[in-house]
Structure 1
């Protein structure tokens, strides 16, 4: 595959200052990186901005890193970060954004071309209008399964109803962040994070652009149903105390039903002569109490797990090596 590139010509300064950095998490995307590179070059070279692209290899098991090294060697605008293992997409996005030093804006997008590079000019145009965050909403996905569609709708319903986030349904990580947003993001240190949730929690001046996601051209989706479920649980418990409150509400509700029932059973035995045995009563009552305790413990364990993750204060990610030119050094 061709890897030649002519030196970038000088460009006029952008309205809001600085270059534009693209951040792309990569996990087993070796077969599609050449197509991604060609698409990004075609779009970004048509814009009047200096730009670069940071490809973050999140512990891929294929030849993704070898392809990243080849691309970055042929085109100095492409750089690579290689994680020591798979830390997850949220950390790959975080690492890429933190590595975008001196950028006036950062654009995050996926490597599978389901975030169409062709709409990047629309993101930039909104940024030029004065928006600090330009996010995208996916109108449809060509290869989404029914399970993922139902799960997505359920997730966004819970997030909008039970958290303080303004998270529109089908919003994505494909978004532009102004430099002030990037600087604020650097202050967040939590390990269990939902990247776009943190961005939406910040506030700032924000707008949305809709797009239709095409089917993947290469490979398999990096996010399995299990990973999506874990992300949903982490996101919900990171931004809402509702699960803890629900456990308390459930306990109160069961007590409100159980205590009157207990009184009715006692009165029925005393005055009506109903044949309600003590064993039957205590079996039902203890089962309900055990359910309350297990529910409450399960919810609290999620939050205790988050507390443990933050208290140990491990690095969010570990960069094993780099590719390309970073601050003038190879």
Structure 2
């Protein structure tokens, strides 16, 4: 590697992305060649337990291109874990994380680097128009970010993506985080480094379908909210206080009516059942909510690794050098 050129690391998780890897790699090479006078590059692919030909395609790319480096997980640990692994292994002065499904345009990389050169420690990308996203996904995403920003003291830009640039200082700070349940967008925003935003329109998916199923998106949303806010727990406390004082007021009202107009006081099963069901439902809801927090604490204190690596390729040469 040339000592006078800055090293840029591209970190890209891959889970069953065999049909698009060659095209993604070619697109990256074009950008690298355009900026080869100023930068040197490394491409780090993380195979997140793929069940298709992704590992074979990655090894083929590695044989053809020495800048390609590979990390293979023992199983599928998830997108957030794969990003963390890539950031841990990246050596660049700046690290760009992006998906390899061709929806994150590589043409944005020069602009992101320009913002970094101006002094930004974080360069975030924000989706402006996503024609490939369905109405339900757009509504769910908008609701999540509004809820997240309402509950948390850490602001997160709506429509932000995991397509971002992080300076070496920001990467080193990120690697100090010890969370097991990871919401990388929130963690990056929490750090508070000087940030610039770059808008973009996602390209159409070339092949396959999104690996973020509804279940995975829901899990990510829970991880984000429980990692960055205790407001849901406080809501249960506030609701309990309101019910307590409301019950006292109703008891005072009933006693007054009993003494002033004893024959007008009606005791009905309907109001009793409604009250019991309301309280019972609220209790079960908040017990479940507390369980979510306790479950995450339980998994955190076990101190299990965020991911396990089966093998790596391309990093051994650096260590030998």
* Alignment TM class, shorter chain as reference: over 0.9
Aligned to 2:69: 79
Contact 1:20 / 1:106 at 8 angstroms: preserved in 2?
A: yes
* Residue in structure 2 matched with residue 6 of structure 1 by the alignment: none
Distance 1:311 1:214 in 2: 41
1:234 equivalent to 2:216? Answer no
Offset from partner CA, 1:30-71 (integer Å, 9 cap, x none): 000001000000012211200010000111111111100000
- 8 A contact 1:83–1:319 mirrored in 2: yes
Query: Following superposition of structure 1 onto structure 2, how do residues 97-246 of structure 1 map, counting pairs within 5 Å?
Result: 97-101=87-91, 103-246=92-235
2:26 is aligned with 1:38: yes
Structure 1 residue 226: deviation in Å?
1.4
- CA-CA distance at 1:11 after TM superposition: 6.1
The aligned counterpart of 1:66 is 56
Q: Secondary structure at the match of 1:293?
A: helix
Contact 1:160 1:167 survives alignment (8 Å): yes
Contact 2:254 2:265 in 1 (8 A): no
TM-score (norm 1): 0.91
1:280 deviation in Å? 4.3
- CA separation in 1, counterparts of 2:65 and 2:169? 28
Q: Give unpaired runs (5+ residues) of structure 2.
A: none
Is the 1:248–1:296 contact (alpha carbons within 8 Å) kept by the matching residues of 2?
no
Paired residue for 1:291, among 260, 281, 288? Answer: 281
Shift of 1:159: 1.6
1:13 equivalent to 2:1? Answer: no
3-state DSSP of counterpart to 1:209? strand
Distance between the aligned counterparts of 1:50 and 1:133, measured in 2?
20
TM-score normalised by the chain length of structure 2? 0.93
Whether the aligned pair in 2 keeps the contact of 1:123 and 1:209 (CA below 8 Å) is: yes
In structure 1, stretches of 5+ residues that fail to align are: 1-9
Distance in 1 (alpha carbons) for counterparts of 2:8 and 2:254: 72
Contact 2:112 2:165 in 1 (8 A): yes
- What is the match of residue 12 of structure 2? 24
